[in-house]
């Protein structure tokens, strides 16, 4: 019984990270393969994951609406840091 509780507690604590991973994968796969996105997801630091998701979301929206790349001036500092983490992960995974 104690082991079941520990497993359930561990799963509950891990859900936010899993949800963020799913959101990252969803945004990443708009422009990249699942293999590339999985590699990139593993390389994004936990403290930058939510910023990376927002930055990717804005980048994807910019391309889909205007066909143009995102203007970095439209990002706040956190979003820019998140996109920098994405670019670094992408370079590593290529």
The domain segmentation of the chain, as residue ranges, is 20-93
Q: What is the mean predicted confidence (pLDDT) over 37-51?
A: 95
Q: CB neighbours (10 Å) of residue 84?
A: 15
44 or 72, which is more confident?
A: 44
First to last CA, the chain: 46
Query: DSSP letter string over 30-57?
Result: TTS-HHHHHHHHHHS-GGGHHHHHHHHH
Token readout for 8 is: 């359930």
| 84-93 confidence digits (pLDDT tens) | 999 999 999 9
| 58-78 confidence digits (pLDDT tens) | 999 888 877 788 888 889 999
Query: What local confidence, expressed as pLDDT, does residue 93 receive?
Result: 96
Least confident of 2-11, 28-37, 75-84: 2-11
Residue bearing tokens 């969803």: 26
d(CA 63, CA 8): 41
> Could you tell me which of 7, 5, 67 has the C-alpha nearest to residue 31?
67
């Amino acid at each position: 019984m104690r082991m079941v509780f520990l497993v359930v507690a561990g799963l509950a604590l891990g859900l936010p990270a899993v949800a963020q991973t799913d959101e990252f994968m969803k945004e990443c796969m708009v422009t990249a393969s699942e293999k590339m996105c999985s590699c990139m997801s593993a390389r994004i630091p936990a403290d930058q994951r939510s910023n990376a998701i927002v930055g990717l979301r804005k980048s994807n929206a910019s391309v889909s609406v205007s066909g143009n790349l995102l203007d970095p001036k439209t990002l706040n500092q956190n979003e820019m840091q998140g996109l920098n983490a994405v670019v670094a992960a992408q370079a590593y995974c290529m």
